[in-house]
Amino acid sequence: MNVIPLDYPTLRIIWWLLLGVLLAGFAVTDGFDLGIGMMLHRVARTNTERNTVLNTIKAVWEGNQVWLIVGAGSIFAAWPDIYAVSFSGFYFAMLLVLLALILRPVGFKYRDKINHPAWQAVWDACIFVAGFVPTLIFGVAVGNVLQGVPFHYDEAMLPIYTGSFWALLNPFALLAGALSISMLCMHGCIYLALKTDGIIRVRAARYSKTAAFLTVIFFAMAGIWVDTSLSGFVFSSTPAMSGVSNPLHKTVILQPGAWLANYNTYPWSLMAPAMGLAGAILAMVLVRAKHYLSAWLASACSIIGIIATVGVSMFPFILPSSTHPGMSLTVWDASSSQLTLFTMLIVTLIFLPVILLYTGWVYHIMRRKPLEKTSLENNSNNY
């Protein structure tokens, strides 16, 4: 007797949506941290200016990374096959991301330990790397997922990845990486314009408009590429939606334009790419009008729209296989059991509002602009 009130297909759809929410939450919150790290040398030219810039995120960046941790944990629990293939196949790339993210807290902590330009320049470079490397690799990963990842299952149902790290750096994936960099630089610069004054705000506003323009260009280029040159994946027969997860029980073919089929079937899904483009354009307009909070919200909408575009385009595929399309992982055959998904949903419904309330409270407390302090003044409490 099944006592779970939600059927299996519904739970799978809910967790597909929650995965998108967690990824978007990470990109919107931790994204401006990464963007500020990448733009540190452009918006701040002196040590005092860099201290001011870094002070805008020092109190919130750790909390923002909770979204990344929760997202990875959710993939592990709700989509174990996705976790196994992606984290093993992209192992070296993920290792670079981890090493880069480790540099960020170290850079924040150690750059002000010694008041010397050479010392601080080293840690400023580390903060830049900590922003640039994860942003690029996350974008490159999405670009490769859209093209299909070279993997298959052996006789024991163990995933075998047959690609290489350098093969990930193909032209379309690098375009996706460039889009990732431009949209997070846009988001970070607008946040700086909101949280600072004077010359830092002027520079941040100027660079945010450039980054927003590039976001529109790169996003449009990616869309044209998908439409004209990139083959998508499609079922050659109707898939089973409620059976036990098994990625071998289907047939899949590559088909030009397949990633655009959902927009014909569900016209409302066009809201996703429209929001991605309109958000970036509106952010440019609002920055020019000096409405920085509204511009930051528009930038956040653009990021959400871009991420949603990927999810909507690929649905129900999550991780397609370029070498063995029939072994691609989808919403219908890569999830955990019905009981696991339902149990995790209850836990999520309890704790996700807590995280949102706590995050909102932290941003409310830290809403004031940081005071400019010299490195030596920052050191006064460290010795």
Strand 252-256 versus strand 159-161 pairing type: unpaired
pLDDT of residue 175 exceeding 90, the answer is: yes
Tokens of 206: 């100027």
Query: What would the pLDDT profile of 222-247 be if each residue is shown by its tens digit?
Result: 999 999 999 999 998 878 788 888 88
Q: 315 lies in a domain?
A: yes
Coil, helix or strand for 37? helix
| Cα–Cα distance measured from residue 165 to residue 92, given in angstroms and rounded to the nearest whole number | 7
pLDDT at 371: 55
Name the domain count of the chain: 1
In the DSSP assignment, the letter for residue 367 is -
Tokens of 101: 């993210």
Q: 15 lies in a domain?
A: no
Q: 14 lies in a domain?
A: no
For residue 347, what are the contacts with CB-CB under 8 A and spacing of at least 6?
none
Tokens of 117: 């330009």
| Cα–Cα distance measured from residue 321 to residue 305, given in angstroms and rounded to the nearest whole number | 25
Alpha-helix runs per DSSP H in 159-197: 171-195
| Cα–Cα distance measured from residue 119 to residue 98, given in angstroms and rounded to the nearest whole number | 23
- Name the pLDDT band for 382 (thresholds 50, 70, 90): very low
DSSP secondary structure, 42-71, as one string = HH--SHHHHHHHHHTTTTTHHHHTHHHHHH
pLDDT of residue 313 exceeding 90, the answer is: yes
Q: 9 lies in a domain?
A: no
| Cα–Cα distance measured from residue 368 to residue 366, given in angstroms and rounded to the nearest whole number | 6
* Domain range for 134: 30-237+251-371
Q: 12 lies in a domain?
A: no
Q: 210 lies in a domain?
A: yes
pLDDT at 126: 95
Is 268 or 372 the better-scoring residue by pLDDT? 268
Q: 182 lies in a domain?
A: yes
Q: 2 lies in a domain?
A: no
**Entry pTM:** 0.91
Report the range of poorest mean pLDDT among 91-105, 199-213, 297-311.
91-105
